[in-house]
Amino acid sequence: MALSGRRVLLIVSGGIAAYKSLDLIRRLRDRGASVRCILTRGGAEFVTPLSLAALSGEPVYQDLFSLKDETEMGHIRLSRDADLIVVAPATADLLARMAAGLADDLAATALLATDKPVLVAPAMNTRMWDHPATRANMAVLESRGVLRVGPAAGELACGEVGEGRMAEVADILAAIEDALGRDSPGEPSLAGLHAVVTSGPTHEPIDPVRYIANRSSGKQGHAIAAALARLGARVTLVSGPTALPDPSGVEVVRVESALEMLAACRAALPAHIAVCAAAVADWRVANVGAGKLKKGGGAPPALELVLNPDILAHLSAPGPGRPALVVGFAAETGDLLANARSKRETKGCDWIVANNVSTGSGTFGGDANTVHLLSADGSESWPPMSKAEVARRLARRIAGAFAVGAAP
């Protein structure tokens, strides 16, 4: 059985989707997993402890201050005895409490006390999901390594249509299997390897107050740094200016311009792996003004631009210090695969991750990505998935390449 002997701690918080969690328990047990449940106060408005206990075959834990629960199974042990914590449904409120590190009920306390991977299946009204507060909370959680499945788009219980429905049970199961598979004995690890990752935009100064920049949020690069670190790599993340928190377990070097990014990457070498996810500005201003340019009333200033160094090409250049595996990104608005293929060849990197950044794709600043992985051996297309999931898959592929000694 796929999940034989694996232990899942399922936290059910208050959403109408809680009924799907009953089916999730049954299907997890069918696959050989054992399931223990924490039911929040809100969750108990939708499903009963009796249903959870009957389906899981285990006592259900509800109260942080219950003498009975604490003697039976303290909250610390509850959170550590599991191989994976699954929060389904994960309400906006619980995500906010997780992001803030609160411990104001048994669920939040277990999530704060755990040292195990956490997978959330958000479920809420589409406006709540789209609210900048929820998006920021989710981004913080993902940057800390929390895994996410869904939400899906469709008709919501409140009658509105949009993103916010909890992922289907089959998708949650697949995400659980994926998350647990990652920790299985025999799973390739990156322990002992050093990875340099570039992320975010660069800012190219015009004068002391103005700069040229681009729309990169840094989400994909930061997620890759976090994913490589989770597989055991020592990671140096060279990041342009972003609003993202530092991923945990990663050394972050902050830079502004392309020249600074190149210098920081060089200083970080030697490395076994380099992943260039930054949207490096192709050009910089030739003569940066020493003082603020004034309007004056004359003609607008003409900016003279000079080409920036290509960091990916520098890291890919053959030589004794070259990382064994160099991965680039190709941000394209047309002819995706053909452009990416020629980019891989001209820059000299081993793999290239191609993505579509045309207007309407939602890639820049968004949480999702649809990518193609190209190597000398050909290309493969990945289905649409979150940037965190792209990062995790890529990290596993990298670990796989080193495990079989296939890293070029």
| Residues assigned a catalytic role | 158
The one-letter code for the residue type at 246 is: D
Report if residue 310 touches ligand CTP, rule: CB under 6 A.
yes
Residue 390 interacting with ligand CTP (CB under 6 A): no
Site string for ligand CTP, 31-70 (x = CB under 6 A): ----------------------------------------
What residues form DSSP beta bridges with 162? 154
What residue type is 48 in one-letter code?
T
* 329 interacts with ligand CTP by CB under 6 A: yes
Judged by beta carbon, residue 19 or residue 283, the one nearer ligand CTP is 283
Nearest-approach distance from CB 143 to ligand CTP, in angstroms: 20
| Long-range contacts from 185-191, C-beta under 8 angstroms, 24+ separation | 187/396, 187/399, 188/231, 188/396, 188/399, 188/400, 188/402, 188/403, 189/231, 189/232, 189/399, 189/403, 190/228, 190/231, 190/232, 190/233, 190/273, 190/395, 190/398, 190/399, 190/402, 191/232, 191/233
Least distance between ligand CTP and beta carbon 9 (Å): 39
- Where does this chain touch ligand CTP (CB under 6 A) — which range of 28-36, 38-46, 83-91, 303-311? 303-311
Among 273, 276, 391, 395, interactor with ligand CTP by CB under 6 A: 276
Element (H, E) at 377: none
- Helix (H/G/I), strand (E/B), else coil: 234: strand
CB of 290 to ligand CTP, least distance (A): 25
Q: Is 394 in the site for ligand CTP (CB under 6 A)?
A: no
Residue 108 CB neighbours (<10 A): 22
Whether 331 and 308 have beta carbons less than 8 Å apart is answered as: no
For residue 356, what are the β-bridge partners? Answer: 332
Interaction of residue 351 with ligand CTP, rule CB under 6 A: no
φ/ψ (deg, to 5) at 185: -60, 140
Please tell me the count of residues contacting ligand CTP according to CB under 6 A. 16
Cβ of residue 343: shortest distance to ligand CTP, in angstroms?
6
**C-beta of 202: minimal distance to ligand CTP in Å?**
8
272 DSSP 8-state letter: S
**CB-based contact 119:85 (threshold 8 Å):** yes
Identify the three-state secondary structure at position 263.
Answer: helix
Q: Out of 118, 224, 311, 399, which residue is the one contacting ligand CTP (CB under 6 A)?
A: 311
Binding mask 184-213 for ligand CTP (x = CB under 6 A): --------------x---------------
Strand runs labelled E in 62-200: 84-90, 118-122, 147-148, 152-155, 161-165, 194-199
282 lies in the site for ligand CTP, by CB under 6 A: yes
Q: Assess 278 for contact with ligand CTP (CB under 6 A).
A: yes
Closest distance of CB 308 from ligand CTP, Å: 5
- Positions in the binding site for ligand CTP (CB under 6 A): 198, 258, 276, 278-280, 282, 308, 310-312, 328-331, 343
